[in-house]
Every structure is written in C-alpha cells, then in structure tokens.
Amino acid sequence: MDAMDSVCGQTLDDVKKLVNKQVRSGTISRTEAGHVVKKWKMREKRRVGRQTDKQTAQFCYACRQSGHKVSDCPNSSEKDFNSGLCFKCGSTEHTSSKCPRKNVKGFPYASCFICKKQGHLSRDCPDNSKGIYPDGGSCNVCGSQMHLRKDCPTLQQKSADKEAKEVALVEQGSDVGGDEDVVVKKPKVTKKGPRRVKF
C-alpha cells in the first residue's frame, strides 16, 4: 500500500492528516485509511519496543550494570578503561581485530574488568570463576570453562582419530594402486525436517 510508505517516520497527527487528505481526494477509502492508521500504530509500537530492548540489552563491564556500555558508564572515569585502543600494540588508529602485528601473544594493552589489571582480558583472568561463559556454563564434552565446544581439544582429538582410521581403511583396500590418491569419504548428514505433532 503506497499510503503506508508515505507515513513512515511521522507522528500520529501527521499520519491522520495525510490519511484524511487522501480519503477526501478519493485515493483511498475510509476502511483503508483505518487500516493504514492501525498498521502505523503497530509499526511504531514495535519500533519503540526494539529501541527499549536494545537499550536494556546493553551491559557495562566496568560497573556490572545493564542499560549502558562501558564507554557511557556514569560510575567510571575515562582513565579506567581503554576505549578505542588496540589491545595488541596500543595504537588508537585501529582495533585489535585489524592490528597489523599478528605475532603478539595475548593482549598486553588490555585492561581486565574483573581484577582491574592490565595485560589480559576478562575471559583469561585468573580471578574469573566463570571462564569464557559470562552467564555460567561449560563445554558439554569435557566440562572445561576455558573453551567452547567447537574448540574442545577432546572433541578435536576424537575427530582426528576417526579420520586417521578412515584413511587407514582406504589405504588397506586390495584395489589400491601406487598412483591412486587417498580419498576419504565422509558419511552423509541427513537433514531432519520439522517435527509435526498430530492431535
């Protein structure tokens, strides 16, 4: 509906004036005008809801309160944290992800939000009992709090052992010649469809 496109970013009074003007000119009917106003109200309610959700989802690591970020924290001064600083080389020109120095181990210019010391991030802090899981939790393979499941050394070792066995089985076949390449076939993963519940 083109009437809906023309009312984006306007107040309710402006929307009503515009819709009434279009009704008088015969562009849209009264029922369509009612739908336009109703849709505008619903869209505006969702927009305001998204803004409040976005605001409350922010979390400050300096004071451990929700509703703002570290850069906007009222309880901490500018010197308490390194905002806009590369944690690898200390430059203010770029961030750690775009740092040209790739051979730096750790983050020597980072400030920990837990112990307030410089040289490591919160996830690597010895005082951090939760590891890299801020809401609690652990790797569901080995139980460690220092890595995610996808980075689990136990899981990676199991998959490496499985691949080695598959390669060994392929190499031991009777039809393998000296010029043939070893090809490891992975089992097909079947996608499960959506579950349907019958009543």
Structure tokens at 74: 């009222």
pLDDT at 83 over 90: no
pLDDT digits (tens, 9 = 90+) for 120-147: 888 788 888 777 777 778 888 888 888 8
Q: CB-based contacts of 107: which residues, under 8 Å, 6+ apart?
A: 87, 88, 96, 119, 120, 121
What values do phi and psi take at 121, rounded to 5?
A: -90, 170
Q: Is the pTM of this model over 0.85?
A: no
H-helix or E-strand containing 162?
helix 153-171
Residue type, 3: A
Taking residue 15's Cβ as centre, other Cβ atoms within 10 Å add up to 22
CB 121 within 8 A of CB 82: no
